[in-house]
Structure 1
Amino acid sequence: MTTTTKGAPEVTTATSEVGLRDLLEAGVHFGHQTQRWNPKMRRYIFGERDGIYVVDLLQTEAALAEATEFVAGLSRRGGIVLFVGTKKQARDAVKEAAERAGMPYVNHRWLGGLLTNYQTISQRIRRLHDLEGYEEDGQLELLPTRERLAAEADLEKLRANLGGVKHMQRPPDAIFVVDLNVEEIAVREAQRLRIPIIGLVDTNCDPDGIDFVIPGNDDAIRSCKVIADGLADVIAENRLAFLAEEEKARAEAEAQAAREAEEQARREAEEEARRAAEEAEAKVAAANAEAAGEAPPAAEAAAPPAPAAGPEGEGS
């Protein structure tokens, strides 16, 4: 994939290794029972077997490829993709995939306002960092028993709810969601802020308003994992490329700054030497002038003495 940023071409890698066989083996094609479906998912359904809808994996594969292409370009520019999956089947897959990709995640409970009221949530994140610092330094152990137990309970709760986003410095540029019904609040907040949504969407969900619909089973652990891993692998690869380019730019900037500092030091040294030379010349000139002022002129020293005056009337 090739994208452009500010007129400059940017090459990104979007090579998800997830193919039809992987999707089939993970059971991504199994939808919900036919009586528990959303008609808006009709176009993604291949057929029905034993009262279960079967998802069209060709569409799943194409949708995953489109989503990976999107996150590849995003992560290559340093973008943030928030992984969200709080249901039991998705928790481990979401956490492991996000950590491998170096991205934030929510896999326990979505706190309302995480996106739409980020400033308030960020205060709780700072509280989490503070408590972890106290724990690491052993300061929690120094508190009275009642206060220590309260602080430890607060720390445990904050870790469960915000541990996956504690390094997220700003709202994400996109979110990946497993099960739109379970994560309804997260989806609504993202839509309100116009944050692109990538969703693993089962046959009982409403795909409207989702930017990248990946039709598939959101109730099986392996299905959640194969989709999350497919996205994470591409994100990780392009994020590493971004970090490498950022490090290269930082090194070049430091080298340029060092060269400029060296040039500035050279100029200052030359200027200092010039001023010192001028001061030395001025001192020599002043010394010469002073010496010339103290010595009598040569003509005055060689003049003959004036004749003495004769007696009055002499020569008349």
Structure 2
Amino acid sequence: MANKIDVKELLEAGVHFGHMTRKWDPNMAPYIYMERNGIHIINLYKTAAKIEEANEALKKIAASGRKILFVATKKQAKDIVAEKAAAVNMPYITERWPGGMLTNFVTIRKAVKKMATIDRMKKDGTFNTLSKKEKLQIDRLRAKLEKNLGSIADMSRLPAALFVVDIKAEHIAVKEAHKLNIPVFAMVDTNSDPRQADYVIPANDDASKSIEKILSLVTAAVQDGLSNRTNEKEADDAPEVEETVEAVAAPEVADTTEATTEE
């Protein structure tokens, strides 16, 4: 089961700290509790409710077998996102967002296939026949591709959703998702426009402790969905096993009946 949302834990993680009041986006007003020392304080009860809403949707996506692409390129978020997303086998972008990552996905897939081609060359010995200069160039290309696209190597089709830390920092990713009607789940601070996200999680998107807390809750829900999918698959496979047993046993029963009749 996904973790229960505890407002006290959100408070301890500093999720409630927004930006300075002069930097706020008026559209965040419904999620702001008060102002303290020139800083907006986020209403954590609304944050908890929004996390639960987002988690339900993410759980369904994960249970359907589709991918959720996690995006966070800011320094204090990238390592956390990489660790949490990888733990639930979801793709992530933590380096620079490759332009056209979603809107020109075919080209991105070609770049990913290039990595696989280079790996094959190293395995079948072709790489060893190249000159020293060519080897160096290919190694550099492979390292660059791995850094930017390695985490999406297994993403063979467009993701079903994006989870973004800081929609202002990742505005290009958000814009591409909107063009393709891909739902955006996002941590939204008081300086951002919540209308840019389909599922808003009002939260401090600058502090690593806050980011880790939200990501832990979100990925727990994703893991829940994946577990549900595994259980459903096992349940679907069970009748097939029973049918196979019946099919194998049936001829033996028939032969016995025939033998009794002949006697």
Superposition TM-score, scaled by structure 2 size: 0.87
Shift of 1:252: 5.4
Q: Which deviations, in whole Å up to 9, do the C-alpha atoms of 1:232-281 show, x marking residues without a partner?
A: 11111221221343355457558768987x79xx8xxxxxxxxxxxxxxx
Q: Give the alignment partner of residue 117 of structure 1, picking from 92, 96, 104.
A: 104
1:173 maps onto 2:160 in alignment: yes
SS in 1 for 2:69: strand
Q: CA RMSD in A?
A: 2.3
Does the alignment pair 1:57 with 2:44? yes
5 Å-filtered alignment, 1:29-48, equals: 29-48=16-35
Q: Does 1:126 align with 2:102?
A: no
Q: Quick check: 2:174–2:196 contact (8 Å CA) kept in 1?
A: no
CA distance in 2, matches of 1:40, 1:68: 23
Corresponding letter in the other structure for 1:51: G
Q: Which residue of 2 aligns with 1:200?
A: 187
Change in Cα spacing, 1:254 to 1:24, as seen in structure 2 (3 Å) is same
Closer/same/farther in 2, CA of residues 39 and 164 from structure 1, 3 Å limit: same
When you count helix as a share of all residues, which structure comes out higher? 2
Q: Is the 8 A contact 2:19 2:190 kept in 1?
A: yes
- Matched length: 250
Counterpart Cα distance in 2 of 1:256 and 1:125: 42
Query: Percent identical across equivalent pairs?
Result: 39
Using the size of structure 1 for normalisation, the TM-score is 0.73
Select the residue among 40, 54, 67 that pairs with 1:80.
67
Which consecutive residues of structure 1, in runs of 5 or more, have no partner in the other structure? Answer: 1-12, 267-316
Please list the CA deviations of residues 98-128 of structure 1 after superposition, one character each: whole Å capped at 9, or x if unmatched. Answer: 1111111111121111111111111111112
Greater RCO between the two (CA within 8 Å, min separation 6)? 2
Matched, 1:157 2:182: no
Q: Secondary structure at the match of 2:77?
A: helix
Partner of 2:211: 224
Give the Cα separation in 2 of the matches to 1:235 and 1:182: 24
Q: Which amino acid aligns with 1:166?
A: A
Which of structures 1 and 2 has the bigger CA Rg? 1
Aligned twin of 1:104: 91
SS at match of 1:35: helix
